[in-house]
Amino acid sequence: MSVNKYEAADLYRECARGDIEGNERTPLLSGSVQTRTKGASFASSVFNLMNAIMGSGILGLAYAMANTGIVGFCILLVVVSTLAAYSIHLLLKLCDQTGINSYEDLGGIALQKPGKVVVALSIIIQNIGAMSSYLFILKSELPAAIDSFVSRDDAGNAWYDDGRLLLILVTLCVVLPLALSPKIGFLGYTSSIAFFFMLYFAIVVVVKKWYIPCPLPHNMTTLSDAFQISNSSDSDCTPKLFVMSSKSGYAIPTMAFSFLCHTAILPIYCELDRPSKARMQNVTNVSIGLSFLFYLVSALFGYLTFYGNVDSELLHGYLFLHRDIMVMTVRLAILLSVLLTVPLILFPARKAASMLLFEGRPFSWLIHIFLTLTILGAVLLLAIFVPDIRNVFGVVGATTSTCLMFVFPGIFYLKINGGPLRSFDSIGAVFMVVFGFTMAIMSFTFIVITWVHDI
């Protein structure tokens, strides 16, 4: 997920010392050891970074496995997670060289004003995509969650069966008031429980794999329009090691979307106790390694539950378990996680938009409210009208996620470092740029082909 939960909540608590916009050119290691306050522990930093990594992407990884095969998926997941850790290594080297703790400002140093603008736009688009994926989950899961707790005898549709109406009401009554707060650091602590909600989700996926038969009996598919698996044959219940189709193009973008945490790296480094590049790299490696295992287990058992019929939003596949206690509680947990996270993701997007449109101007409630309503309105429209969450993962993952994870760190390193091109990191940076552009073009092409084929 690459969602910027930690940046949104605590981006400036230590670095900015009370300034809402933050002094992002303050060197991370500035100040003497005697005057520097004790920062976050290693374990706390790992937890914070995992909060930044984990997000809605976990719901789409089983679908990615179904369209790449178990072995193909594992290879791609290893490649993407390894390159994500390496690109963070490049960012940390630049951070030590320049003393900058802002992704946008690194773009400004590397490519002047255009670089800063491009990075800010990428962050805005990435976070809008992330927020729309969360609201999409609300739209698809909230009606089922309410219906599972409500007993009714009539077969007609109730008002709460309309996911779009519920989404609008929840956005206006819950998300908007939280998002309007100029300082939402308190939500950073509350959102930490989102990690445990995701952990519970993974446990439920593993447990339910052993209780759901394949092929699914006809009398279990009460929501056949949403979950068309009742006509499955035994051949549909065989795991595949390698799969290649036009839908395979969603795999790498979804993985990039799931591992993106790069805009949160520098603020977390800023708050790390006894900060050093090696120590922060260890934090990164542990966080990405644990997230890798988390993602792999969820994707594998989700795929082995539904095989080729896995839904692009995994939780949606359990709709037929209408009154199952575990499914009911995990659905509530995911929905609560969404509600706590959306306002946090909006914070860095609003900050980037403010930098582009109103840079240098003092804080204004009018500007603050205008940007909040504009961004949230765009997110709401996307969540309402995009028919499939895989489109969000695919398009955003193939464009901004790929750029923020692979392309930008490589370009910035080559521009700022100025070392010999034959050095290991320079060669690695070149590879990152080439890999990022190649994967983005290939993935987006496959996605467009899928759209055309569906039409």
Split into its structural domains, the chain has a count of: 1
Instruction: Give the residue-averaged pLDDT of 318-326.
Output: 77
pLDDT of residue 38: 63
Each residue of 285-310: pLDDT tens digit? 999 999 999 899 999 999 998 888 88
User: Residue 221 pLDDT more than 70?
Assistant: no
Identify the three-state secondary structure at position 40: strand
User: Residue 4 pLDDT more than 50?
Assistant: no
User: Residue 32 pLDDT more than 70?
Assistant: no
SS (H, E, C) 355-403: HHHHCCCCCCHHHHHHHHHHHHHHHHHHHHHCCCHHHHHHHHHHHHHHH
Instruction: Give the residue-averaged pLDDT of 207-228.
Output: 61
Contacts of 450 (CB under 8 A, 6+ apart): 246, 247, 249, 250
pLDDT of residue 275: 81
This prediction's pTM: 0.79
Domain at 251, CATH number: 1.20.1740.10
Identify whether the C-beta of residue 94 lies closer than 8 Å to the C-beta of residue 27: no
pLDDT of residue 89: 93
Identify the three-state secondary structure at position 418: coil
68 Rama class: left (phi>0) / alpha (psi -120 to 50) / beta: alpha
User: Residue 156 pLDDT more than 70?
Assistant: no
Higher pLDDT, 60 or 373: 373
User: Residue 142 pLDDT more than 90?
Assistant: no
Quick one: which of 354, 347, 416, 367 has its CA closest to 112?
A: 416
Residues 130 and 264: their CA atoms lie apart, in Å, by 14
Instruction: Give the residue-averaged pLDDT of 366-394.
Output: 88
pLDDT of residue 363: 84
Quick one: which of 155, 128, 212 has its CA closest to 382?
A: 128
What band does 449 get if pLDDT is binned at 50, 70 and 90?
A: confident
Identify whether the C-beta of residue 413 lies closer than 8 Å to the C-beta of residue 109: no
DSSP string, 45-90: HHHHHHHHH-SGGGGGHHHHHHTT-HHHHHHHHHHHHHHHHHHHHH
Alpha helices in 260-324 (DSSP H): 262-271, 277-306
Contacts of 244 (CB under 8 A, 6+ apart): 68, 72
Cα–Cα separations (whole angstroms), residue 224 to 221, 228, 230, 387: 5, 5, 7, 18
Tokens matching residue 288: 């990405």
Tokens matching residue 24: 């992002």
Higher pLDDT, 70 or 33: 70
pLDDT of residue 417: 83
Identify whether the C-beta of residue 2 lies closer than 8 Å to the C-beta of residue 25: no
The strand ranges marked E within 162-293 are none
Range of the domain at 84: 5-454
Quick one: which of 183, 30, 187 has its CA closest to 101?
A: 30
- Ranges 260-269, 311-320, 407-416, most confident: 407-416
Residues 86 and 409: their CA atoms lie apart, in Å, by 9
pLDDT of residue 227: 40
Higher pLDDT, 18 or 432: 432
What band does 37 get if pLDDT is binned at 50, 70 and 90?
A: low
What band does 376 get if pLDDT is binned at 50, 70 and 90?
A: very high
Cα–Cα separations (whole angstroms), residue 226 to 219, 232, 312, 379, 394: 15, 15, 11, 24, 21
Contacts of 62 (CB under 8 A, 6+ apart): 298, 299, 300, 302, 303, 306, 310, 314
Helix axes 193-209, 42-53, angle to 10 degrees: 60
Average pLDDT score, the chain: 79
Q: Which amino acid is at 210?
A: W
Contacts of 290 (CB under 8 A, 6+ apart): 46, 50
Q: Which amino acid is at 258?
A: S
User: Residue 121 pLDDT more than 90?
Assistant: yes
Identify whether the C-beta of residue 334 lies closer than 8 Å to the C-beta of residue 201: yes
What band does 74 get if pLDDT is binned at 50, 70 and 90?
A: very high
Identify whether the C-beta of residue 408 lies closer than 8 Å to the C-beta of residue 122: yes
Residues 255 and 61: their CA atoms lie apart, in Å, by 7
Cis peptide upstream of residue 215 (ω within 30 degrees of 0): yes
User: Residue 39 pLDDT more than 90?
Assistant: no
pLDDT of residue 368: 92
- Ranges 72-86, 153-167, 169-183, most confident: 72-86
